[in-house]
Structure 1
């Protein structure tokens, strides 16, 4: 088995959607399908992710017919170092293959040798190899991220933001509905206030359980790291 660090060029694939994803305004990452694009959306929102590289390496190996063939994983994901105070082990880098479930089921016999080679390579290099299909990507978590994106760059009154954060901070954790009912009076004010809470969640000044669908009964709390001197992500 040989490894080539020369990345395979991402190109157009018939029947798929390709493009470039602006990852945290720091780099452009190529994708070859909407499923890959959606995974990049998840990775961008995940604060523990430090970097993502598309098609980072090519593994050369000999198949069961004695032919020299290659396999290129879709992404390599590096994670930020764990804080020593949390006594957590650093997360191992992830080598990721993205495939629709239908293709996995239909072509698994053909794909299995490639995946086994990738698993061996990952194990030998202190990585983890994972396969992602729709069930792992297109989740309520993704739906929430896409919903919040429309509020991320909107602007609201700083005074209202301070009032919202102060009230939630004093409450510890509280439903969105309770915040709106306490701080706003008119229907119009409540509508604007709700949008501002979505904005604060999109920018992670507020946090919640993002894996559950967002609504007015969602419990939110203040992200102390962002408010009081932590690193913005």
Structure 2
């Protein structure tokens, strides 16, 4: 398990702040890092995110330096799929494209370290971070603190567990039939999605009643 080696301090040259993940505050130093965290914190198969996880030594022009990647992301393993942990550098596309030759030594060192430890190393820019799935995460965040009836929630979850897989439309027909109740029913399901209490494809249209949802094993 890697631990944070450098603290991120507030500064006036960039946007800094925190994203809450499993009760912990994870710092970011830019809006791009913030969006990276928001997306990965919402994924059910992510089990841990560590900022500034390690200092990796590298040599440039005969001198030794240290490189600290931005984040280390660990994924849940199962019998069918064993994703490797991910070491990440978050950089705007224009910035890394201009400087990639100058930064290649430290990134080669990071790649070598990750290969030795069966990790992956990736550079994440806006093309890999700001996408439809992130839009869905931001949409669902509006319903995370929705006031819900616990008995209603339990009944819905039991129905989904019994079926294994179903659709939003089926659940709405069972519990929120009629034009008056349907909008509330959608908000309740979005609340459950925001907390990963029901499974769904984050890349699909989550406002569609045809969206497939399924029981999640905890």
Q: Would the TM-score normalized by the shorter structure come out above 0.5?
A: yes
Q: CA RMSD in A?
A: 2.6
**Structure 2: stretches of 5+ with no match in the other structure:** none
Give CA-to-partner distance per residue, 1:103-142, whole Å, 9 cap, x none: 1122222222221111112112222111111111111111
Offset at 1:204?
2.5
Aligned counterpart, 2:140: 148
Aligned counterpart, 2:55: 58
Residues 157 and 215 in structure 2, CA contact (< 8 A), matched pair in contact too: no
Aligned counterpart, 1:106: 98
Residues 206 and 220 in structure 1, CA contact (< 8 A), matched pair in contact too: no
Aligned counterpart, 1:40: 37
Aligned counterpart, 2:69: 73
Change (3 A) 1:88 1:177: closer
Pair 1:116 & 2:116 matched: no
Moved more, 132-141 or 162-171: 162-171
Residues 184 and 193 in structure 1, CA contact (< 8 A), matched pair in contact too: yes
TM-score (norm: length of structure 1): 0.79
Aligned length: 216
**Could you say which structure has the larger radius of gyration?**
1
Pair 1:207 & 2:199 matched: yes
Aligned counterpart, 1:29: 26
Mapped partners of 1:122, 1:141: distance in 2: 27
Residues 168 and 213 in structure 2, CA contact (< 8 A), matched pair in contact too: no
Change (3 A) 1:145 1:16: same
User: Which of 95, 112, 121 is matched with 1:129 structurally?
Assistant: 121
Offset at 1:162?
4.8
TM-score (norm: length of structure 2): 0.84
Residues 47 and 75 in structure 2, CA contact (< 8 A), matched pair in contact too: yes
Give CA-to-partner distance per residue, 1:134-154, whole Å, 9 cap, x none: 111111111111211221232
Change (3 A) 1:49 1:170: closer
Residues 199 and 216 in structure 2, CA contact (< 8 A), matched pair in contact too: no
